[in-house]
A and B are shown apart, each in its own frame.
Chain A
Amino acid sequence: MKADTASEPSPLAATGLTRTYRGGKGVFDITLKLAAGEVMGLMGPNGSGKTTLLHMLATAATPTAGQVRWFGNTNPRDPSVRRRLGVMLDQPAHFDKMTGYQNAWFFAHQFGLSDQLARDRLDELFRWSGLWDAREQLVGEYSLGMKRKLNLLEALVHRPSILLLDEPTLALDYRAELDLIERLQLLSLTGTAVVLATNDVHLAERLCDHVIFLHDGRLIREGHVPELLTEVAGSKEVQLQVTSPIALESLRALPAVQAANVEGDTVHIILARGANPAQVLAVLNGTADMVSNMRVRRPNLGDVFLKLTGVALPAVDR
Chain B
Amino acid sequence: MLPGTIWQRELVEFAQRRRALVIKLAFPLVFGIPLVIAAPPLYAAVTLTMLIAIIGALGAGAVLSRERLSGLTLRYRTLPVTPGRLLIERLSTSAVIDLMQVMPVLLFVALRHPSEFAWWPALVLSTAAVLLIGNLMGAVASTLSDSPGEVMLYVFIPLLPLLYLSGVFTPLTQPALLVVSRLLPFSYLHESLLGALGGQPNLLPWETMLGGFGFLVGAAGLTGRLGRRVLESD
A contact set with B: CB distance below 8 Å: 55, 58-62, 77, 79-83, 85, 87, 89-95, 97-98, 101-102, 105-107, 109-112, 115, 138
Contacts A106-B3, A106-B4, A109-B4 given: A98-B78 contact, CB under 8 Å?
A: no
Contact with A along B160-204 (1 / 0, CB 8 A): 000000000000000000000000000000000000000000000
A105 touches B72 (CB 8 A): no
CB of A98 within 8 A of CB of B74, answer no
User: From DSSP, what is the main secondary structure of chain B's interface residues?
Assistant: loop
**How many angstroms from the CA of A58 to the CA of B79 in the assembled complex?**
10
Which segment, of B11-19, B26-34, B90-98, B144-152, faces chain A?
Answer: B11-19
By the criterion CB–CB under 8 Å, are A79 and B80 in contact?
yes
A97 touches B13 (CB 8 A): yes
29 A-B pairs, CB-CB below 8 angstroms? A55-B74, A58-B78, A59-B78, A60-B74, A77-B82, A79-B80, A79-B82, A81-B80, A89-B75, A89-B78, A92-B71, A93-B67, A93-B72, A93-B74, A93-B75, A95-B72, A97-B17, A98-B3, A98-B9, A101-B2, A102-B1, A102-B3, A102-B12, A106-B2, A110-B79, A110-B81, A111-B79, A115-B4, A138-B16
Question: Out of B13, B67, B72, B80, which one reaches A111, CB within 8 Å?
Answer: B80
Contacts of A58 in B (CB 8 A): 78
Cβ contacts B3-45/A at 8 Å (1 or 0 each): 1110011001100110000000000000000000000000000
Cross-chain contact of A85 among B5, B8, B71, B78 (Cβ < 8 A): B78
Closest-CB distance, B150 to chain A (whole angstroms):
19
In order of increasing CB-CB distance, the 4 nearest A-B pairs are A91-B71, A93-B71, A79-B80, A109-B4
CA distance A77 to B78 in the complex (A): 8
A109 to B13 alpha-carbon distance, docked (Å): 16
Give B224 Cβ to nearest chain A Cβ, in Å. 14
In the complex, how many angstroms separate the beta carbon of A62 from the nearest chain B beta carbon? Answer: 7
Which residues of B, 198-223, contact A by the 8 Å Cβ criterion? Answer: none
CB-based nearest B residue for A114: B4
Contacts of B80 in A (CB 8 A): 79-83, 110-112
B17 pairs with A106, CB closer than 8 A: no
Chain B residues whose CB sits within 8 angstroms of the CB of A101 once the complex forms: 2
Give the residues in chain A near B71, CB-CB below 8 Å: 89-93
CA distance A257 to B223 in the complex (A): 61
